């Protein structure tokens, strides 16, 4: 099965679950409104299979989409799109290790207009809640002590 077929199939399943009201719908975005989306983050700041500077970040119509040119193997992947992640009631991101510290700084700190396109920075839920779970190394480049242990 190709990545495109897999994304179509998964998108169909999600639509069925929305139709049968197993998953509710966001009144704002018309996207499925998951209770919780749990994410990791790569050292490049990617979340799900939403990679920095990739056109997949602009996908506004589909709930599930695919890429065939991931910079990190495997090249073919399916992913929830940004509007779906932003529509969740809760988004939790679990990040550990020093290799992620710079991306965490760029994703969370007030870094000015320099890095707004980092995927990990773009997942702020529209009405829901975003919680970062970081270990000390991942949090080591944060500007201020806005974290709780
Ligand atoms: O896209 C991938 O290929 C990765 O599997 C990736 O998305 C992973 O979730 C993060 O890199 C965080 O992974 P860790 O939390 O295990 O470091």
Instruction: Ligand 1, residue 72: give the atom nearest the CA.
Output: 3
- What percentage of the chain carries pLDDT values higher than 90? 87
Q: How far is the CA of 42 from the centre of ligand 1 (A)?
A: 5
Closest C-alpha to ligand 1, atom 13: 40
Residues framing ligand 1 (Cβ under 6 A): 40-42, 49, 72
Number of neighbouring beta carbons within 10 Å of residue 89: 15
Closest C-alpha to ligand 1, atom 1: 49
Quote the ipTM score. Answer: 0.87
Q: Residue 148: is its pLDDT beyond 80?
A: no
Task: Render pLDDT for 83-105 as a digit per residue (tens, 0 to 9).
Answer: 999 999 999 999 999 999 999 99
What is the residue-wise DSSP string for 29-97?
Answer: T-SEE-S-EEE---TT--BTTB-TT-GGGG--S-SEEEES--SSS-S-EEEE-HHHHHHSSEEEEEE-S
Instruction: Ligand 1, residue 77: give the atom nearest the CA.
Output: 1
- What is the spatial distance between Cα 63 and Cα 13, in angstroms, rounded to a whole number? 11
Closest C-alpha to ligand 1, atom 6: 42
For the domain with range 3-134, which CATH number is right: 3.40.640.10, 3.40.50.800, 3.40.50.1360, 2.40.128.20? Answer: 3.40.50.1360
| Dihedral sign from CA coordinates of 47, 49, 53, 57 | negative
Q: How far is the CA of 41 from the centre of ligand 1 (A)?
A: 6
- What is the spatial distance between Cα 96 and Cα 48, in angstroms, rounded to a whole number? 16
Averaged pLDDT, 32-57: 97
Averaged pLDDT, 29-56: 96
What does each C-alpha distance from 23 to 11, 32, 41, 118, 145 come to in angstroms?
13, 6, 25, 28, 37
Task: Render pLDDT for 91-141 as a digit per residue (tens, 0 to 9).
Answer: 999 999 999 999 999 999 988 776 678 999 999 999 999 999 999 999 999
Residue whose tokens read 């829901």: 128
The pTM for the full model equals 0.92
């Amino acid at each position: 099965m190709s990545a495109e077929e897999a994304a179509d199939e998964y998108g169909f399943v999600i639509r069925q679950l929305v139709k049968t009201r197993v998953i509710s719908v966001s009144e704002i975005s018309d996207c499925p409104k998951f209770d919780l989306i749990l994410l990791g983050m790569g050292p490049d700041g990617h979340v799900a299979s939403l990679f920095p500077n990739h056109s997949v970040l602009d996908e506004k119509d589909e709930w599930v989409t695919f890429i065939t040119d991931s910079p990190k193997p495997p090249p073919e992947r399916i992913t929830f799109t940004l509007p779906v992640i932003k529509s969740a009631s809760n988004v939790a991101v679990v990040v550990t290790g020093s290799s992620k510290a710079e991306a965490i700084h760029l994703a969370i700190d007030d870094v000015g207009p320099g890095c707004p396109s980092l995927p990990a920075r773009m997942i702020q839920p529209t009405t829901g809640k975003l919680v970062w779970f970081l270990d000390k190394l991942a949090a080591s480049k944060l500007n201020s002590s806005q974290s709780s242990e």
